[in-house]
Structure 1
Amino acid sequence: MAWTVTQGTNNLTTGKADDSESSQTALAVVVCTFATLGLALNFLLNPLMLLVLHRVTSIQPTTKIFMVSLTASDLGSGLVWLLELPELFLGAWPLGGFLCAATGVMMFTTRAMGVFSLLLLTVNRYIAVSRPLRYPTLMTVFRSKVIVCSTWAAVTAICITVYGIYHPKYILESGPLKLCIWESDWRQYVSIVTMLSVLLVVSFLYVHILMIARRHARRIATDNQVGNGQAMGQIPQNVSTRSTTTVVIITGTLMVSWLPTVIILSTLIPETDFAGYRIFLLVNLTDDFLLANTWLNVIIYYLRNRDLRQTIHLILSAWLSHLCRGPRP
């Protein structure tokens, strides 16, 4: 009887272990698949958008500077992910201790610059909408370059100090898995507060931009009400709908991309928890959402702009025409 109970307990334990291993394998497949697709879209769209920004002439030079900063940070995040991808497929870090520490610094730098570039682009747009007459003097090309370069320099210096000099990422040698990890400490709370603060500011500014756009649209509708059949001060439906849709897309994408990371950082406290392979996969799953944001930015900020869409169409048409003609004899 005792043997039967023991055998049943062993079988139950083995069954739970098998189920856990199967779910862990499925999670690893999902994480690797989304990471690969995200990298492919990142390297396909972001270089194309840099070329488009170089070609397009209808966008203000100051706005192009902030858009280049955002695109460069998104492309940099993809390059860091390219270094981290072998660890996902192999289940171990194969690139040595120096690159382990370096990827930690580069990862936080590019992510932080993606957030702050988005903030700079939003502030630039807010100034252009709220102060249209003073905008050319408030935001010059020189000032835009100084702002972007100063932000990159400050963020890089802070990330090198906080994530490179102070407890950089290291290869875990004590456990069965040789993973490149970082210590879970006060820095994660700093990251959470910074991300949430920027997200709230960006969301607030876009809501304010929407209110200003609706007010401008109402004024235009009032000035042109004769003969258009609209009541006094009524907002044109297409203007209101498009502005609202833009705000919802921007804020919604930010929340969906960053909230999983905020949640996992908030619950990830002990270092031993991070060393587990399942936690490692969950962290990388949230990173997949951040990677998706690097190419979703292209769709939101570029493909919704008519001039940029036309430039993309011209570039792709020229490439297709060149391919169809083939090499000249």
Structure 2
Amino acid sequence: MKTPEEAELCFPQLLNSSCSKAMRPHSVSTLIYIVLSSISLLTVTLNLLIIISISHFKQLHTPTNLLLLSLAVSDLFVGLIMFFQILLIDGCWLLGDLMCILYNVLDFISTSASVGTMVLISVDRYVAICEPLHYPNKVTQKRVQVCVCLCWICSAFFNSLLLKDNLTQPGRYNFCFGECVIVINYIAGLADLFLTFIGPVAVIIVLYMRVFMVAVSQARAMRSHVETFSLKSSVTVTAKKSEMKAARNLGVVIVVFLLCSCPYFSVALTGQDTLLNASSAAFVTVLFYFNSCLNPVIYAFFYPWFRKAIKLIVTLKILQPGSCQTNIL
């Protein structure tokens, strides 16, 4: 029978070198497990539906939707990462040092790629609203594909450099067995904070402020001239309304992203993470990851094509020949 001291260890057989388990009531651990499992499963499922929808239906193969596809892929990885968070509920990492560093690398890359994609979405809406006549020539499928690939490649390269010491010697900063710790030096941490949060957020806010101002001025112009428009002008007005609606919808995605990520990065920016208790730190982290679950919910609420695509996927109608040509819009 295990002694009380042994029962509190991650590896009871390693009395002198094992980490201790986090001591919390069983009911609390069960609640955390249920919440994290539900969020993780929902995140993976919903983002997988987005990936299948945009990839399968040819009508959805647009530059803007390609950016949503990239965002869904990064959110899918975040949902998978949350499964590893579940393993750390009791404070013990049981998968070894190699899996520890791979888990953290995937976490860093997914986060960076998600933020980078948000910037690309902001640029896409900026060009669509502020330079509508040049949008078809500037924002092409090919260019967006290149930008998305560069976003992921740069994210992987930067974070590999950031975690180089941890990658070359996994577990070098662990003090006991059952621990999963990575260490980033001060300068690299500041560079990560500015490149992954402060810089991108500043770009997003500036671009969307400009989009908002132009959208408001266009709406006023359309209202004042609506009775004098010809049929051709009416088509143009409809197109502009469609672009502004897309800007509004994607604006909601970005606002939700900022609300969920700001607490997480603000803690890192102010260096107050050591002052947070375990519950506060867990809430900030879960809120950050929860954003990846909210994005598909926003799409389902604002985009009729996503709701229609879900019905076709769930009913397995996408398996029928020629289903990729279905009128989904």
Shorter-normalised TM range: 0.7 to 0.9
Q: 1:87 to 1:290 in 2, by over 3 A?
A: same
| Identity percentage of aligned residues | 19
Q: After TM superposition, list the pairs within 5 Å mapping 1:82-101 onto structure 2.
A: 82-88=83-89, 90-101=90-101
Q: Does 1:256 align with 2:251?
A: no
Q: Does 1:53 align with 2:54?
A: yes
C-alpha contact 1:52 1:312 (8 A) present in aligned 2: yes
1:253-281 Cα deviation digits (max 9, x unpaired): 123211221233235579xx59x9x65x6
Gaps of 5+ in 1: 1-19, 227-237, 323-329
Q: Does 1:148 align with 2:151?
A: no
Q: 1-side partners of 2:272 and 2:252: how far apart? A: 32
C-alpha contact 1:39 1:81 (8 A) present in aligned 2: yes
User: Offset at 1:196?
Assistant: 2.4
Counterpart residue number, 1:181? 181
Q: 1:135 to 1:173 in 2, by over 3 A?
A: closer
Q: 1-side partners of 2:288 and 2:157: how far apart? A: 22
Q: 1:54 to 1:253 in 2, by over 3 A?
A: same
C-alpha contact 2:125 2:247 (8 A) present in aligned 1: no
Q: Does 1:220 align with 2:222?
A: yes
Match of 1:310, SS state, is helix
User: Offset at 1:108?
Assistant: 0.4
Q: How many residues align?
A: 284
User: Offset at 1:91?
Assistant: 2.3
Q: TM-score, normalised by structure 2?
A: 0.72
RMSD over aligned Cα atoms = 3.7
Q: 2-side partners of 1:71 and 1:251: how far apart? A: 14
Q: Read off the aligned partner of 1:54 and give its amino acid letter.
A: S
Q: 2-side partners of 1:48 and 1:243: how far apart? A: 20
Q: 1:63 to 1:302 in 2, by over 3 A?
A: farther
Counterpart residue number, 2:67? 66
User: Offset at 1:99?
Assistant: 0.9
Q: 1-side partners of 2:303 and 2:215: how far apart? A: 16
Counterpart residue number, 2:283? 285
Q: Read off the aligned partner of 1:118 and give its amino acid letter.
A: M
Q: 1-side partners of 2:211 and 2:311: how far apart? A: 29
C-alpha contact 1:43 1:78 (8 A) present in aligned 2: yes
User: Offset at 1:201?
Assistant: 1.9
User: Offset at 1:111?
Assistant: 0.5
Q: 1:38 to 1:145 in 2, by over 3 A?
A: same
Q: 1-side partners of 2:245 and 2:137: how far apart? A: 29
Q: 1:78 to 1:251 in 2, by over 3 A?
A: closer
Q: Which has the larger radius of gyration?
A: 1
Q: After TM superposition, list the pairs within 5 Å mapping 1:30-179 onto structure 2.
A: 31-59=32-60, 61-88=62-89, 90-165=90-165, 170=171, 173-174=174-175, 178-179=178-179
Q: Does 1:307 align with 2:305?
A: yes
User: Offset at 1:25?
Assistant: 7.0
C-alpha contact 2:98 2:170 (8 A) present in aligned 1: no
Q: 1:140 to 1:34 in 2, by over 3 A?
A: same
Counterpart residue number, 1:202? 204
Q: 1:284 to 1:294 in 2, by over 3 A?
A: same
Q: 1:173 to 1:210 in 2, by over 3 A?
A: closer
Q: 1-side partners of 2:170 and 2:191: how far apart? A: 17
Q: 1-side partners of 2:91 and 2:198: how far apart? A: 31
Q: 2-side partners of 1:122 and 1:113: how far apart? A: 14
Counterpart residue number, 1:191? 192
Match of 1:39, SS state, is helix
